[in-house]
Structure 1
Amino acid sequence: MMALQHRYPLALAIAASLLSGPVLAQSAIEHHVWQDKRKFEPYSRTAESITGAIRLSGNNQFATPGSKMTITFGNGKKAQLTSVGASWRQWDDVDGKKVTAEVFKVAKDPGTLLNGNTLCGKAAKYLVFHESLSFGASLLGVAVFEGSKEPKDINSPGLCGTFNYSVD
């Protein structure tokens, strides 16, 4: 080994940096589409007829309990959201895969949205954002819960609506 260190110091340095590369990459900060200040067009018919396009105010504090964000619906109504944290569980109602999602508590239900519809039959209490794919399209999925308990996954009590929005 001593002879290699003297003959190939650059090669050993490169090898060491390549071996440490994945460790550095794993420590990168997560970033998800719902954290960006932007508009999302409806992808599902449900989203098209109930919420229309949505705008998110952005929140650069991923999974930080107490961090705030605003959602604005197609008719201009808004809801203030407060993060309660994130999880790696099944959040898509179609695909059984686990995904990262962030759960937000709704300060006040936005009431009537498009076409006389509401997010839930009762007051929406939690919105959960996650990313998914459908026929190759990147989507922002939103699950809505009316229960008083924080949802733990898509099968939690109180699920009352799911919406999908185009990320592209």
Structure 2
Amino acid sequence: MQLRYPLAFTIAACVVCGPVLAQSAMEHHLWQDKRKFDPYSRTAESITGTIRLSGNPDFAIPGSKLAITFGNGKKVGLTSVGASWRQWDETGDKKATAEVFKLSRDPGALRNGNTLCGDPKSDPAQYVVFFERSSSGGPLLLGMAVFGSKDTPHDINSPNLCGTFNYSTD
């Protein structure tokens, strides 16, 4: 029996076709779903309480909208600035995909009179960044970093980090 195509050609054809035939899943993150997130960290418990996100299927599309409602009922609009793959977790140097949102306004006093960034008039919260982080052996957590800088934050070490919050996803 004589082969029409050499074995090397057949293997090369399979290697070349493999990636073309495979489909990658669309990127989807916790903060895109319409749902509530219960506080996981003490900071989240004492300042924001449970948060609710309105949902936004448009991951990292600048100008797309989302709303956050804090535990005391205050609701604030968020506008996506985009996403990045950088260090966003303050406890390690691992990189994570995060989406940066500009707040429509500072929400003011939240739980127990606490605020996101200090005085909402002189030092307002400007940006929130959502990212997923792992908990020791448990389910993923929703991380939220808040910045008071007028400049868009580019990682956790950006100027005017006001605080970080963690929320349960189960």
Residues 22 and 133 of structure 1: is their aligned pair in 2 closer, same or farther, counting only changes over 3 Å?
A: farther
The 5 A counterparts of 1:134-145 are 134-137=135-138, 138-145=140-147
- C-alpha distance after superposition, 1:14-65 (max 9, x if no partner): x949x6258734x432100000000001000000010000000001000000
Hey, what's the Cα distance between the residues in 2 that align with 1:119 and 1:60?
26
Partner SS for 1:88: strand
Which residue is equivalent to 2:76? 79
> How many pairs are equivalent?
160
Kindly indicate whether residue 45 of structure 2 is the aligned counterpart of residue 48 of structure 1.
yes
Partner SS for 1:163: strand
Structure 1 ranges of 4+ moved more than 4 A:
none
Hey, what's the Cα distance between the residues in 1 that align with 2:18 and 2:38?
41
Q: Percent identity at matched positions?
A: 66
Which residue is equivalent to 1:130? 131
TM-score, with normalisation over the residues of structure 1?
Answer: 0.87
Residues 63 and 23 of structure 1: is their aligned pair in 2 closer, same or farther, counting only changes over 3 Å?
A: farther
Which residue is equivalent to 2:18? 20
The answer for unaligned runs of 5 or more in structure 1 is 6-11
Residues 94 and 3 of structure 1: is their aligned pair in 2 closer, same or farther, counting only changes over 3 Å?
A: same
**What letter is aligned with 1:20?**
G
How large is the Cα RMSD of the aligned pairs?
2.3
**What letter is aligned with 2:127?**
Y
The answer for unaligned runs of 5 or more in structure 2 is none
- C-alpha distance after superposition, 1:48-105 (max 9, x if no partner): 0100000000010000000000000001001100000000000000021000000000
Kindly indicate whether residue 160 of structure 2 is the aligned counterpart of residue 158 of structure 1.
yes
Which residue is equivalent to 2:27? 30
Going by fraction, where is helix more abundant, 1 or 2? 1
TM-score, with normalisation over the residues of structure 2?
Answer: 0.86
Partner SS for 2:3: helix
